[in-house]
Amino acid sequence: MFDAYRPHEALVHPARPTASLVRLVLGAVMLAVLFLSLIFAASALLNIVAPATSWDSTFGDLETGDTPAGVLANLYLFGFIIVALAMTGRAIHGRALPSFVGDLRLARLHFARVCLYMVGLHLALSILLPATPGLTPEANIDTTRWLTFLPLALPALLIQTGAEELVFRGYLQSQLAARFANPRIWIIVPSMCFGMLHYDPAINGDATWLIVGWATLFGIAAADLTARTGTIGAALGLHFVNNFFAILVAAPAGNFDGLALYTYPFALGDTDALWLWAPLDLMLLLVSWLTARLALRV
């Protein structure tokens, strides 16, 4: 193990008694089945409580998130992943949910410091960097209305990013690290799975693999931070602030923009615009990773 990754043992140690690949595969299957079952049960219950026409008019298209309520519902649905992971962790690995987080006090500290530094970074870049022609954000929803939704949006965003960090960095990464000593395996494999979570050619079109590639690199950055700190707090801070600006501040037009204060004049399926945007986004990811490391001196 790299010396820089020694803190990772705090997450890996609880995974060692059940580090077999068979258990991991069973856990992944159980997690997926439980999550889908909870979604199905919630959907069936909502259809009983409210007619479909009322649901559609309130939430719009959940997949594209074209209304504030639709975005919130989509984000809060990730809570079912946390429930499914808690059940899976206990049943397959004998692990309680906090064991996928690491030391809770340290995790909270890591999260808070990384969030603070990341917000400062984004604000500084928004002031210092010149506007890119053709990529300048345009006003989307009224500021007062946006602020009204913010108390609901922030917890929803924390649930969404927290669920993904718990699964990919807290669960998959720690279980693989308990089985394999080579960091390339337990960093790259969960990161590729995280990248494939963003595979959606119906919405992203020809830019699908570009988005998958970016998400994979993000996963690698988050995995590295997790290994350096021994908690998912730093990765969660990186993820939370990234998604705050990508979902609530400025989102691509027509793609999960129901709660965005601004929208970019392109959609996720606009390959030419995304290729123009990609170098800036990759540079931001690199600087964000370095900023998170600076925040925690790791």
The predicted-structure confidence for 75-97, as pLDDT tens digits, reads as follows: 999 999 999 999 999 999 999 99
End-to-end CA distance of the chain: 16
Residue 248 · residue 25 · CB < 8 Å? no
Q: How far apart are CA 91 and CA 269, in angstroms?
A: 40
The predicted-structure confidence for 93-139, as pLDDT tens digits, reads as follows: 999 999 999 999 999 999 999 999 999 999 999 888 777 666 788 89
* Confidence at residue 234, expressed as pLDDT on a 0 to 100 scale: 98
Q: Which two tokens stand for residue 295?
A: 């925040």
Q: Which two tokens stand for residue 224?
A: 């590295």
Q: How far apart are CA 259 and CA 48, in angstroms?
A: 27
Output Rg (C-alpha) for the chain, integer angstroms: 19
Identify the weakest region by mean pLDDT among 5-9, 52-56, 132-136, 293-297. 52-56
Question: Which residues, at least 6 apart from 139, have a Cβ–Cβ distance to it below 8 Å?
Answer: 261, 262
- The residue behind tokens 């998400």 is 215
The predicted-structure confidence for 41-66, as pLDDT tens digits, reads as follows: 988 887 777 666 556 555 556 666 78
Strand partners, 251: 263
The predicted-structure confidence for 250-269, as pLDDT tens digits, reads as follows: 998 888 899 999 998 888 77
> What's the pTM?
0.94
- For residue 239, give the nearest of 253, 227, 221 by alpha carbon: 221
Name the residue ranges covered by the structural domains of the chain: 3-296
* Confidence at residue 53, expressed as pLDDT on a 0 to 100 scale: 58
* Confidence at residue 136, expressed as pLDDT on a 0 to 100 scale: 81
Q: Length of the chain, please?
A: 298
- For residue 175, give the nearest of 237, 105, 88, 79 by alpha carbon: 88
Residue 45 buriedness (CB in 10 A; 0-12 / 13-18 / 19+): exposed
% pLDDT > 70, the chain:
93
Q: How far apart are CA 7 and CA 286, in angstroms?
A: 22
